[in-house]
Amino acid sequence: MMSKHGKKRKLVGPWRDIHGAIWLIGLGILFWKDWFWPGIIILIGLSAILEAVIMLYAPQSYEEEGQAGTPLPTATPVAAAPNPPPPTAEHSLELLPSICPKCGGPIRGHEVKWTGPQSADCPFCGSNLPMGK
């Protein structure tokens, strides 16, 4: 998607997978039922509607790219905390949930933002993750 400033944005995380799945399933149905025309127009419309819904309800699922395709640095908030410590032996990776209960994103120990020895934030939505017992 191009903005008026020429910067591209692309989907990241599970939303990119959902968008790709809709295209694969849609194309499969079009070829299976031989509805290629005007079915491709309907599939493009559904794709555009999905992107608009994602932009409305999950704007954090997009990241901007520069002209050469390299990601631009994102601005950090003024009240941002210092970088959390990297996972160490004191971080309990086995207590992390497999998916975020708020946004449904996959949770991996090396991607979460550790805020304490047994406290981490989701890398997708930033919500605090409940630790298991």
How many whole angstroms separate alpha carbon 103 and alpha carbon 127?
9
How many domains does one find in the chain? Answer: 2
**Under the phi-then-psi rule, with left for phi > 0, alpha for psi from -120 to 50, and beta for the rest, what region is 95?**
alpha
**What backbone phi and psi angles, to 5 degrees, belong to 77?**
-65, 155
Q: What is the structure's pLDDT at 65?
A: 59
User: Which of the listed residues 21, 37, 65 is the one where a domain comes to its end?
Assistant: 65
Beta bridge partners of 99: 106
Are 60 and 85 members of one domain? no
Average pLDDT over residues 8-23: 77
Q: What is the structure's pLDDT at 52?
A: 80
User: Which of the listed residues 41, 65, 89 is the one where a domain comes to its end?
Assistant: 65
Are 51 and 84 members of one domain? no
Q: What is the structure's pLDDT at 67?
A: 41
Enclosing domain of residue 18: 8-65
Residue 75 forms part of a structural domain = no
Give per-residue pLDDT as tens, 73-119: 555 555 555 555 555 556 677 788 888 888 888 888 778 888 877 78
Q: What is the structure's pLDDT at 14?
A: 76
How many whole angstroms separate alpha carbon 28 and alpha carbon 33?
9
Q: What is the structure's pLDDT at 1?
A: 46
Query: Taking a C-beta distance cutoff of 8 angstroms, is the pair 93, 112 a contact?
Result: no
Give per-residue pLDDT as tens, 21-78: 888 888 888 888 887 788 888 888 888 888 888 777 777 777 765 444 455 555 555 5
Are 98 and 50 members of one domain? no
Question: Is the per-residue pLDDT at 11 higher than 70?
Answer: yes
